[in-house]
């Protein structure tokens, strides 16, 4: 369902396109049978985002909507049948790299214009600002990156929670591992029992690949850094040896989002601690408590998203955010150590710093050496 539109086939007529033709416009923008002609007319611009949504078009100018759509494939969404299993990785599917939404969007072949480049948006009135999310055109990409950080963590734990729900009535979407082969059971109850038995294999798909796949070296970076969830302003949330965790890179930018929205980190930390406790119970965690802990953390992400949605991102707020984030990674934490991010987390942090630096310094003459160096490292 990531490489085609099978998950949408029952909902709309795609004008004769076969779902195996791959991802077309409707894959991102939504089923187009009700808006394809109308959206080319001038009056389409006057419709509200809600009116367009009612016709099937996604509001991809909304940072939360865009982020949720992007990570549904690039992290996974079991409810939509977007699951890359461990067997698929073993068969050759590339690893799913971390995704920072603003940079990811910029690197796509751009067939749209950023808000500040659209003549129709110049001197926008209040209605236009609401319809097109124009309240903060100067820091649109920064908001996209910060919202994307919280959405990435939320959807990571949601994937784990959904796959640990053995009462689910749609096994085909949730557990493709057990549906392969001629001997796959036909009865839902039997499929649910088989999924329970196959939990370690199922959990591998949403676990940290590098927990198992890493160089054997001692002493090494992994031992020095420590195993667990790393929050820069908190002591290491340590996991027991031999207990793979969920992917940890989605935690890397959450603190920046919390700083910007002035949201305490406590509830996020509690949720991560609950996942940690479940992971320590047995290899790949206890599915029952993984599910409840993931739901707990997902709710904490929703609270943070609501606060970030209500927070205006101006130059002072964005500057404070980047200064505080840099302080967290250059000053010793509560345990006396300076946190050292892993490779995937470091790329996330560098991408965010590049996005913020570009928007803070837009319009200034010349280039800024650290930003130029950062960009060359990322590329």
pLDDT digits (tens, 9 = 90+) for 133-184: 888 888 999 999 999 999 999 999 999 999 999 998 888 888 988 887 777 8
- When pLDDT is averaged across residues 13-26 and rounded to a whole number, the result is 64
What are the domain boundaries of the chain?
63-83+95-103+148-166+197-378
Q: What pLDDT sits at residue 368?
A: 57
Structure tokens at 357: 């630096």
More confidently predicted of 258 and 14: 258
Whether the full predicted model's pTM is greater than 0.75, yes or no, is: yes
Which element (helix H / strand E) includes 229?
A: strand 228-229
**CB burial class (10 A; 0-12, 13-18, 19+) of residue 27?**
buried
Q: What share of the chain is helix, strand, coil (3-state, %, to 5)?
A: 60, 0, 40
**Which residues is 228 bridged to in the sheet?**
238
Which pLDDT tens digit goes with each residue over 61-108? Answer: 999 999 999 999 999 999 988 999 999 999 999 989 999 999 999 998
């Amino acid at each position: 369902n990531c490489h085609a539109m099978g998950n949408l086939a029952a909902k709309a007529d795609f004008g004769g396109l076969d779902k195996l033709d791959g991802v077309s416009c409707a894959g991102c923008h939504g089923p187009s049978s009700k808006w394809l002609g109308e959206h080319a007319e001038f009056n389409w611009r006057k419709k509200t985002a809600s009116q367009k949504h009612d016709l099937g078009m996604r509001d991809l100018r909304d940072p939360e909507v865009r982020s949720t759509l992007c990570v549904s494939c690039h992290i996974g969404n079991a409810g939509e049948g977007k699951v890359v299993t461990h067997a698929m990785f073993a068969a050759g599917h590339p690893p799913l790299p971390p995704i920072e939404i603003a940079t990811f969007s910029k690197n796509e072949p751009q067939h749209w214009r950023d808000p500040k480049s659209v003549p129709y948006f110049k001197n926008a009135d209040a209605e236009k600002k609401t319809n097109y999310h124009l309240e903060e055109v100067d820091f649109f990409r920064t908001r996209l990156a910060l919202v994307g950080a919280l959405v990435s963590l939320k959807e990571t734990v949601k994937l784990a929670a959904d796959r640990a729900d053995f009462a689910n009535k749609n096994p085909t979407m949730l557990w493709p591992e057990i549906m392969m082969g001629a001997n796959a059971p036909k009865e839902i109850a039997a499929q649910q029992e088989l999924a329970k038995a196959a939990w370690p294999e199922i959990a591998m798909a949403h676990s940290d690949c590098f927990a198992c796949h890493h160089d054997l070296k001692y002493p090494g970076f992994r031992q020095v850094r420590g195993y667990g969830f790393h929050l820069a302003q908190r002591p290491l949330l340590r996991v027991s040896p031999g207990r793979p965790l969920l992917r940890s890179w989605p935690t890397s930018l959450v603190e920046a989002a919390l700083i910007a929205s002035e949201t305490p980190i406590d509830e996020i930390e509690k949720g991560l601690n609950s996942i940690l406790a479940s992971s320590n119970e047995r290899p790949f965690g206890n599915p029952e408590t993984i599910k409840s802990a993931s739901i707990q953390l997902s709710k904490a992400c929703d609270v943070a998203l609501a606060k970030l949605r209500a927070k205006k991102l101006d130059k002072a707020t964005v500057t404070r955010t980047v200064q505080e984030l840099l302080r967290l990674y250059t000053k010793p934490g509560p345990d006396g150590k300076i946190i050292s991010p892993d490779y995937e987390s470091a790329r996330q942090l560098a991408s965010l710093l590049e996005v913020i630096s570009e928007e803070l310094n837009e319009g200034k003459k010349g280039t800024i050496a650290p930003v130029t160096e950062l960009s060359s490292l990322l590329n």
